[in-house]
Structure 1
Amino acid sequence: MPVLTRLLPSPVFVEIRPRALESLGGILADGRLSSSGRIAVAISPGSGRALRERLEPVLPGADWYDVADGTLDGAVRLAEAMRGGHYDALVGLGGGKIIDAAKYAAARVGLPVVAVATNLAHDGICSPVSILDNDAGRGSYGVPSPIGIVVDLEVVAKAPKRFVAAGIGDVLSNISACADWELSQRETGEPVDGLAVAMARSAAENLLRHPGGLEDQDLLTSLAEALVLSGIAMNIAGSTRPSSGACHEISHALDLLYPKRSAQHGEQVGLGAAFASHLRGERELTGRMVDRLRFHNLPVTADQIGFTEAEFTDAVHYAPNTRPGRFTILEHLDLSPSDIRDAYADYVQAVNS
Structure 2
Amino acid sequence: MPVLTRLIPSPVVVDIRTGALDDLVGLLADQRISASGRLAFAISNGSGQALREKLAPLLPDADWYAVADGTIDSAVKLADDIKGKRYDAVVGLGGGKIIDVAKYAAARVGLPMVAVATNLAHDGLCSPVATLDNDNGRGSYGVPTPIAVVIDLDVVRDAPVRYVRSGIGDAISNISCVADWELSHRLTGESIDGLAAAMARQAGEAVLRHPGGIGDDAFLTVLAEGLVLTGISMSVAGDSRPASGACHEINHAFDLLYPKRAALHGEQVGLGAAFAMHLRGAHDDAGLFAEVLRRHGLPVLPEEIGFSTDEFVKAVEYAPQTRPGRFTILEHLDLTTDQIRDAYADYAKTISS
- Name the TM-score, length of structure 2 as normaliser: 0.98
Residue 35 of structure 1 and its aligned partner are, at CA, apart by: 1.4
Q: CA RMSD in A?
A: 1.0
Q: Give the whole-Å Cα distance in 2 for the aligned partners of 1:212 and 1:272.
A: 23
Q: Give the whole-Å Cα distance in 2 for the aligned partners of 1:119 and 1:343.
A: 34
Residue 58 of structure 1 and its aligned partner are, at CA, apart by: 2.3
Which residue identity lines up with residue 308 of structure 1 in the other structure? S
2:7 is aligned with 1:7:
yes
Equivalent in the alignment of 2:277 = 277
Equivalent in the alignment of 2:217 = 217
Which residue identity lines up with residue 214 of structure 1 in the other structure? I
Q: Give the whole-Å Cα distance in 1 for the aligned partners of 2:108 and 2:260.
A: 29
Equivalent in the alignment of 2:328 = 328
Which residue identity lines up with residue 72 of structure 2 in the other structure? L
2:40 is aligned with 1:37:
no
| Count of matched residue positions in the alignment of Structure 1 and Structure 2 | 353
Equivalent in the alignment of 1:202 = 202
Matches within 5 A, 1:137-176: 137-176=137-176
Equivalent in the alignment of 2:121 = 121
Q: Give the whole-Å Cα distance in 1 for the aligned partners of 2:170 and 2:192.
A: 21
Equivalent in the alignment of 1:48 = 48
Q: Give the whole-Å Cα distance in 2 for the aligned partners of 1:110 and 1:342.
A: 51
Equivalent in the alignment of 1:83 = 83
1:251-281 deviation per Cα after TM superposition (whole angstroms, max 9, x unaligned): 0011011110000000000001000000011
- Name the TM-score, length of structure 1 as normaliser: 0.98
Residue 348 of structure 1 and its aligned partner are, at CA, apart by: 0.9
Residue 294 of structure 1 and its aligned partner are, at CA, apart by: 0.2
Residue 2 of structure 1 and its aligned partner are, at CA, apart by: 5.2
Q: Give the whole-Å Cα distance in 2 for the aligned partners of 1:65 and 1:218.
A: 33
Q: Give the whole-Å Cα distance in 2 for the aligned partners of 1:175 and 1:52.
A: 37
Deviates more, 1:289-298 or 1:135-144: 135-144
1:38-59 deviation per Cα after TM superposition (whole angstroms, max 9, x unaligned): 1000001111111001001222
Check conservation: 1:200, 1:230, Cα contact below 8 A.
yes
Which residue identity lines up with residue 191 of structure 1 in the other structure? S
Which residue identity lines up with residue 331 of structure 1 in the other structure? E
Q: Give the whole-Å Cα distance in 2 for the aligned partners of 1:223 and 1:250.
A: 23
1:117-170 deviation per Cα after TM superposition (whole angstroms, max 9, x unaligned): 000000111011111122222222211121110001111111111100100000
1:195-238 deviation per Cα after TM superposition (whole angstroms, max 9, x unaligned): 11111111111111111111111111111100110001000000
Long gaps (5+) in structure 1: none
Check conservation: 1:199, 1:233, Cα contact below 8 A.
yes
Which residue identity lines up with residue 121 of structure 1 in the other structure? A
Q: Give the whole-Å Cα distance in 1 for the aligned partners of 2:161 and 2:307.
A: 22
Q: Give the whole-Å Cα distance in 2 for the aligned partners of 1:76 and 1:190.
A: 35
1:159-197 deviation per Cα after TM superposition (whole angstroms, max 9, x unaligned): 111100100000000000000000000000111111111
SS at match of 2:139: strand
Q: Give the whole-Å Cα distance in 2 for the aligned partners of 1:77 and 1:305.
A: 34
Q: Give the whole-Å Cα distance in 2 for the aligned partners of 1:290 and 1:270.
A: 9
Equivalent in the alignment of 2:303 = 303
SS at match of 1:4: coil
Q: Give the whole-Å Cα distance in 2 for the aligned partners of 1:193 and 1:2.
A: 18
Q: Give the whole-Å Cα distance in 2 for the aligned partners of 1:283 and 1:276.
A: 10
SS at match of 1:171: helix
Residue 81 of structure 1 and its aligned partner are, at CA, apart by: 1.0
1:88-132 deviation per Cα after TM superposition (whole angstroms, max 9, x unaligned): 100000011110111111111111110000000001110111111
Q: Give the whole-Å Cα distance in 2 for the aligned partners of 1:176 and 1:12.
A: 29
Q: Give the whole-Å Cα distance in 2 for the aligned partners of 1:308 and 1:217.
A: 36
Q: Give the whole-Å Cα distance in 2 for the aligned partners of 1:195 and 1:30.
A: 30
Equivalent in the alignment of 1:345 = 345
Identity %: 68
Check conservation: 1:24, 1:58, Cα contact below 8 A.
no
Which residue identity lines up with residue 104 of structure 1 in the other structure? Y
Q: Give the whole-Å Cα distance in 2 for the aligned partners of 1:34 and 1:171.
A: 31
Which residue identity lines up with residue 92 of structure 1 in the other structure? G
Which residue identity lines up with residue 223 of structure 2 in the other structure? L
Check conservation: 1:69, 1:98, Cα contact below 8 A.
yes
